[in-house]
Amino acid sequence: MDKAASEFFQNLLHAPTPSGYEQPGQELVMKYLKPYAHEIYKDVHGNVHAVVNPKADYRVMLSGHCDEIGLMVMHIDDKGFLYVATVGGIYVPLLQGERVLVHTAKGAIPGVIGVKPIHLMSAKERESAATKIEDLWIDIGAKDKAEAEEMVELGDVATVDRGVAFYPHDRIVARGLDDRAGVHVVAEALRLASKEKLNVAVHMVSSVQEEIGLRGATTAAFGIDPQVGIAVDVGHATDYPGCNPKMVGEATIGGGPILHRGPNFNPVLYERLVRAAKDARIKVQQQPIQRGSGTDANVIQTTRAGVAAALVSVPCRYMHSSVEMISIKDADNSARIIAKFLTKLKGTEKFIP
């Protein structure tokens, strides 16, 4: 990863991008990709489209979703405490005792998700953490409802206040690697491919609202009408205690990008990606998915009359927590495989199985 790409990735990970509120991250994507794209724009839903070789008739869509899971302020009580709902799939017991940032029109407001001290808990309370989001509250230090309402509005969103950490062996830990890692990959693939002569149009999309129903990729794919679509997301690493590879297939951090097989994915396209990995001398891992994948690939595949779709995943530990972990090398190699695939396309390929 070169210096500019590394800075972009880190800045993106620091930006707040809960589903429907992705604008801070999307502005970074627009700024970073402007020198490499022939066209760049945002659509009405907030998807960022960066296009290389736009006049080509054969269109390839690359999609990584910019949104992350988060919280939304639903109620402010008389004492000034904020009650929230989850935005996307959050395991509620992880939230107790976390620091958060509430993102308002006036800027970020710090808060904490309160927790009763163990000294004051009954024996039964000590045995089980709160499992309902309505039982938790955010304390922003307000003395009452009126003071809280001067700082926060209903509908403001919050994210866990965690930074980016670098660990040995090329590991990075952050909240929201799902799926800002995917945005980094598709942006890097576009940057690398833009240096080569391409026979196809490459439509890179930093999509929105994936965590609440694949909404951004649904409309983006319909508008682009691609012949080929590749989604990039994080995939389940299984190389840590308690994770069962019998459920999702085996994958390790640092073991290479994951290529997926199953009904969501075009088998001809899968083989072309395997070949691209071999040409790039990059080791890959394989995970089958026996149904729709729950990623942008799902809606890309079924847009209009159908699209040859694939999913490339970056192995990730502790998904949907504030301590997600990936290998930067896995992410960069994912981009290299996709770029190699793009440069090999003639624009006449048929992907009918």
Of 318, 251, 252, nearest to 288 (Cα)? 251
Cα 160 → chain centroid: 16
Q: Rounded to whole angstroms, how far apart are CA atoms 6 and 64?
A: 17
Q: Give the strand pairing for 107-113 and 201-207.
A: unpaired
Q: Answer yes or no: 150 catalytic.
A: no
Phi, psi dihedral angles at 276 (to 5 degrees): -60, -40
Dihedral angle of Cα 13, 15, 16, 17, to the nearest 10 degrees: -70
Burial class of residue 30, CB neighbours in 10 A (0-12, 13-18, 19+): middle
Roughly how many angstroms between the first and final C-alpha of the chain, as a whole number? 35
Q: What are the structure tokens assigned to 241, written together?
A: 């205690």
Amino acid at 159: T
Active-site residue among 98, 188, 210, 324?
210
- How many C-beta atoms lie closer than 10 Å to residue 283's C-beta? 11
Residues forming the active site: 210
